[in-house]
Structure 1
């Protein structure tokens, strides 16, 4: 999961002068990545089911414990567990966009039923959007829904980029409880809802096309389910059937999950492209790996997201095999290979690097 829903995010800065040196593809890196990982593209259903179900059970149990906690201290402790577990479970939406669903039968339906619809992030909000981010000719351009030149924008856009994510749960309730039903009465509103408010994206200029075929049918089923749940939730809170305190706690946990994901999104790339198409190697170098020995990235970049740059080289490799792929490549590539230039130690250094670039180069 690389993005958070934004309604009106800060607009990108004016385009920088062209002419930045184009980074050529490193054939040794691309060849090694392809040859050393051929058998790693198969997803293991047992890992997917065990990891996801454990995350969901822990997340919802901790959320219930947060609501019922008798003290602020226990509420904060349980709330932290709920945030981390639900964030991990929600991050599987990223895997859904790359997974051959026949290999893990029923996983997408289970993900939507247990988390996507209840948390108002059904998979259609990401499927059909994220794949555009991996298109070789779209990455880093105005047609990429998941890219903004954040390192080249004004410094105040970075904290705004993170803080706006706190409003995502409220925005999602409005999208499904209000806009979706109203859009049935207005073709023009429906067009706007589909184009602007139906994708987990960070590029405010991106406009989504209406789905077709089976994708459209899946979209309809999931949108109806999410809208019914959102309307029911609003009614239950309004009538007191769900205590306001419990609802606000759930909202707070969901907001922290969204902010945590937005922080991870901020450090998933270096955000230095000025809108021109990039080679695969350039895309890799603009992306970020945070490999071991660091332990904290397993919490803030779960489900393989700590290998985000490697994922851009090998998008078909499932999350549970990315660590093996990383070790194989690190063992055979020359120390001067571009592969090692996308590896970073941790969150703080990355945030400092991007923030400093925004201060010195932002417009």
Structure 2
């Protein structure tokens, strides 16, 4: 397989900055040489991973929703079964949702995967694929960590209260997403002037609450409207389906949908806090600074794969090689660890404990003096 499996622009961007970093010992070309035969998405692996997970997760979700109808004579047993099924369902949904990340990078290389993923996961979870398209800005060297990167916020330089708020705001996200697609979308359809503000401020998965998305092309906006329409129809059924079918005014589906959504969002938020060291201060960071600002968790896959599925536990590796599909990440990491020099900065990206890294972030964020608005890192 030729080295064209990994786009050369990644190499150019990395080398153009890496060579300017004083004392840098990481050579991008050396790492690229070790994994040059990797980097081609294998659609069959995506299908064999996603379809069983989403079908099992949907089955578990509907079982929880109807468990009291299944066991009407034994409510305590029904609650027990729901308590057992719930974490399994959340972990499976988390894995399925993370395929949105692969779609942002490889959507055109996975025939039919995008519409199927949107139908089975993106639309039901109100995360249609268009909300994650700006993710590529997170990988552009001159955007990473700046105001143009919606997935970055200088958490190290901020109050600990923002870390708390970052986790607690997930209680509101399902409600805001519900209103976004059931109420705001129709407003944009009948009142087009509202579209620009909504597209810039309420159409992207972000970490930075002040991020403004760039205006979209006519082709993109047609895609946005189409996916909005599917979400709108789904929410009509989600809201009124039980009332139409059974006459129930309050549907158990609302409770389970909200609870599951909050759980998946919170799990992903915890993962996100440990994916970076968040040491940027809004300025453009050098290649090595960006590398050392990201984290890998290669150890204990029996647990790290649960909270960091679809390659997200190899976040530093992903920032080095954004065009590497998730199924190649473990092998790529193994080769880099075997082939890179002992003093390679790449080795400094490895951590064992997600909670340990989050505790370090908590200590750094709390290390600011009361009179200072910056932190020594």
Describe the superposition over 1:113-145 as per-residue Cα deviations: whole angstroms up to 9, x where unpaired: 111111111000001x10111111010111111
Rounded to whole Å, the distance in 1 between the matches of 2:180 and 2:224 is 14
Shift of 1:337: 1.1
Query: Match for residue 247 of structure 1?
Result: 254
Rounded to whole Å, the distance in 2 between the matches of 1:140 and 1:24 is 20
Query: Match for residue 71 of structure 2?
Result: none
Shift of 1:160: 0.8
Question: Is 1:56 matched up with 2:54?
Answer: yes
Query: Match for residue 338 of structure 1?
Result: 345
Query: Match for residue 284 of structure 1?
Result: 291
Contact between 1:52 and 1:89, CA under 8 Å: does it hold in 2?
Answer: yes
Matches within 5 A, 1:264-279: 264-279=271-286
* Structure showing the higher helix proportion among its residues: 2
Shift of 1:199: 0.2
Query: So what's the TM-score if we normalise by structure 2?
Result: 0.86
Question: Is 1:151 matched up with 2:156?
Answer: yes
Bigger drift between 342-351 and 28-37 goes to: 28-37
Matches within 5 A, 1:311-350: 311-350=318-357
Query: Match for residue 128 of structure 2?
Result: 122
Query: Match for residue 39 of structure 1?
Result: 37
Bigger drift between 58-67 and 145-154 goes to: 58-67
What SS does the corresponding residue of 2:124 show, helix, strand or coil?
Answer: coil
Rounded to whole Å, the distance in 1 between the matches of 2:249 and 2:25 is 58
Rounded to whole Å, the distance in 2 between the matches of 1:251 and 1:100 is 28
Query: Match for residue 207 of structure 2?
Result: 202
Rounded to whole Å, the distance in 1 between the matches of 2:287 and 2:208 is 21
Rounded to whole Å, the distance in 2 between the matches of 1:181 and 1:85 is 32
Describe the superposition over 1:222-257 as per-residue Cα deviations: whole angstroms up to 9, x where unpaired: 111112222332233666458522321121011100
RMSD over aligned Cα atoms: 1.9
Matches within 5 A, 1:1-363: 24=22, 26=24, 28-69=26-67, 70-101=77-108, 103-127=109-133, 129-236=134-241, 240=247, 243-361=250-368, 363=373
Structure 1: gaps of 5 or more residues: 1-21
Rounded to whole Å, the distance in 2 between the matches of 1:328 and 1:26 is 21
Q: Which has the higher contact order (CA 8 A, sep 6+)?
A: 1
- CA gap of 1:183–1:217, structure 2 versus 1, over 3 A, is closer
- Structure (1 or 2) with the larger CA radius of gyration: 2
**How many pairs does the alignment contain?**
340
